[in-house]
Amino acid sequence: MCGIVGYIGTKKATPILINGLLRLEYRGYDSAGISTIEKDGLSIMKDKGRVKNLSNIPGIDDLEGTIGIAHTRWATHGKPSKENSHPHMDNSKSFSVVHNGIIENYNELRKFLGDNGYTFYSETDTEVIPNLIHYYYSKDNNNDDEKLLRAVRSAVLDLKGSFAIEVISKFDKDNMIVVRKDSPLVIGTCEDENYISSDIPAILSFTRDFYLLNDLEFVVLSRNNATFYDKDLNKIEKDTKTIEWNASAAEKDGYEDYMLKEIHEQPTAIRETIGSKLSEDAPIEFDELNFNKEYLSSLNKIYIVACGTAMHAGLAGKNAIEKLCKIPTEVDIASEFRYRDPIIDDKTLCIFISQSGETADTIAALKLSKEKGAKTLAVTNVIGSSITREADYSIYTHAGPEIAVASTKAYTSQVVLLNVLALYFTQILGCGDAKLNDLKKDILDLPRKIEETLKVCENIGEFAKEVYQEHDVFFLGRGIDETVAKEGSLKLKEISYIHSESYAAGELKHGPIALIEAGITVISIMTDSKLVEKTVSNIQEVITRGAKTLVITNQKVDQKMFDKTIVIPDTNPFISPILSVVPLQLFAYYIAKEKGLDVDKPRNLAKSVTVE
């Protein structure tokens, strides 16, 4: 995900900005840039590629400005390029802006600004921001000290989506304005200097005193002051917080482990992954793909091939593609797929999922599919990874770096991207109906509902304390819920080393029930109204045999039946795995913590499996 840095003080800004960007490289990016206030106006230096490339831009060493903003970009709106990289200016080159997040209504704002004479030079959503600021600034006939602040505030209130924004202007060479909503932003302060960043580690070497911002709080920063305003521009008071972390702890943003941090990053990861592809009232866009109706109609099969958690995401994708597009879809494990001589030809589309883009078995399966004449599509989190170089097409999740070995936010980002892809195919095929608009709305509402789910899971650690010494745990589900049972079981295995198995709930009587005895823990997921009654009947069978039960549901059930029930927000069954998996991620996490295990680095496992 993108990263931002800012500086206002007495030193040259450029070295500080570049140093901050280097500390944000772990977030992943495809371009970088800085903007400073110089004597003759605003300067912008930016380029595609690594932060180190900035040092090679002619004239960058000559910049003297002591106020500046900087950015590392991970492409969402528009391809990786110098033109699309940040910072962005307005047409008059009076305002410079960097932005993290997604502006969901940027098409509407772009049209409005175009109708008012503004021209755009990039494909980004961000470019509307400096031009909106210029629009409101030029409409304000007052010339007091708060004119820029009012213009920024008016522009920000027009934005829908998530954002952390830094603004500098040639009209105010002594101040910078920052604001955030649903995207991280912190201000580090010390004598005669203020530092801004999306992550504490980028500026921790300069200060340990930080202001932490809430949504829609505006800050006017000078060299020795920070003035805070609410969304109505009433002044508010804020105290600094002293951060005692070392650099390693700071990268966890105060969380005890990377895994816990990444679980809580899922709302942001989903927002970034949806990006500009999906909105309620516009066609779905995948600029990376050129599929047409003739090609999709000719397909006799789609294969989704992956390993581990990515394969479980593929199962959720299969559900969406088959039910929405009516194309037969098969999910296969990459290490098995390549050795069983799969039936593939030019009427087969093969989709390969890999968080790292370096999974050896998945890449080998991709090469085999190409040899047999199939078109290949990679779904990955890493731009420029091996799988993207091999595949005919690539689409990206934007989960940011996932450091913990056990995947969490990468999984949910993959599931949402596959659902958006299924909607895109449906759009091309023209086989959708009114219900698709409801599904779009539910997908766009996912970040908020994940936040709600995290709140209702606050006490799941108490149940983990009751069962962490178990040797066997069983997961049950029907339909789409079975795919979540598989992922929940895998998470528990990976980080707690407890033996667990997942089953289709209807299979319970066909063998597995022989393993159920007093004290065994059984976990069930119930999110499909058509299947909930049958699943409840299966759970009753294990209860009568003395099992302890944990139920994850958004359906009306008699909670008194179960030892623990977690009620998650209601949503479309296609995307319910994104919500129902969150309690299971946390359940596995807290059990591992109770056992005193290294949650981020479980034994024998690697983050990226690059050998067979």
Question: d(Cα 421, Cα 405) in Å, to the nearest integer?
Answer: 26
Which H or E run contains 429? helix 409-429
Largest CA distance in the chain: 80
Decide if 418 contacts 575 (C-beta within 8 A). no
Nearest to 265 by CA among 248, 278, 279, 252: 252
Question: d(Cα 168, Cα 175) in Å, to the nearest integer?
Answer: 7
The first and second tokens of residue 92, run together, are 């008059």
Nearest to 554 by CA among 152, 535, 541: 535
The first and second tokens of residue 501, run together, are 């198995």
**Helix, coil or strand: residue 239:** coil
Decide if 237 contacts 228 (C-beta within 8 A). yes
Residues 6 or more apart in contact with residue 604 via CB below 8 angstroms: none
Please say if 607 is a catalytic residue: yes
Which H or E run contains 173? strand 172-181
Q: Cite the beta strand spans of 520-602 per DSSP E.
A: 521-526, 548-553, 564-567
Q: Which region, left, alpha or beta, applies to residue 427 given φ > 0 means left and ψ of -120 to 50 means alpha? A: alpha
Nearest to 496 by CA among 399, 606, 603: 603
Question: d(Cα 369, Cα 303) in Å, to the nearest integer?
Answer: 10
Other CB atoms within a 10 A radius of the CB of residue 533 amount to 11
Question: d(Cα 168, Cα 157) in Å, to the nearest integer?
Answer: 18
Q: Which residue has 């305003």 as its token pair?
A: 229
Please say if 2 is a catalytic residue: yes
Question: d(Cα 355, Cα 414) in Å, to the nearest integer?
Answer: 8
Catalytic-labelled residue, pool 160, 170, 238, 607: 607
Question: d(Cα 219, Cα 234) in Å, to the nearest integer?
Answer: 11
Decide if 122 contacts 183 (C-beta within 8 A). no
Please calculate the CA angle 125-86-134 and round it to the nearest 5 degrees. Answer: 65
Q: Which residues share a beta bridge with 567?
A: 553
Catalytic-labelled residue, pool 2, 307, 325, 350: 2
Please calculate the CA angle 196-42-55 and round it to the nearest 5 degrees. Answer: 70
Rg (alpha carbons) of the chain, rounded to whole number: 25
**Helix, coil or strand: residue 390:** helix
Give the strand pairing for 88-89 and 67-73.
unpaired
Q: What is the separation of C-alpha 172 from the centre of its chain, rounded to a whole number of angstroms?
A: 35
Helix, strand, coil distribution of the chain in percent, nearest 5: 40, 25, 40
Given strand 31-38, what is the order of strands in its sheet? 41-48, 31-38, 67-73, 3-8, 193-197, 186-190, 209-212, 241-242
Q: Which residues share a beta bridge with 190?
A: 193
For the annotated catalytic residues, the residue numbers are 2, 607
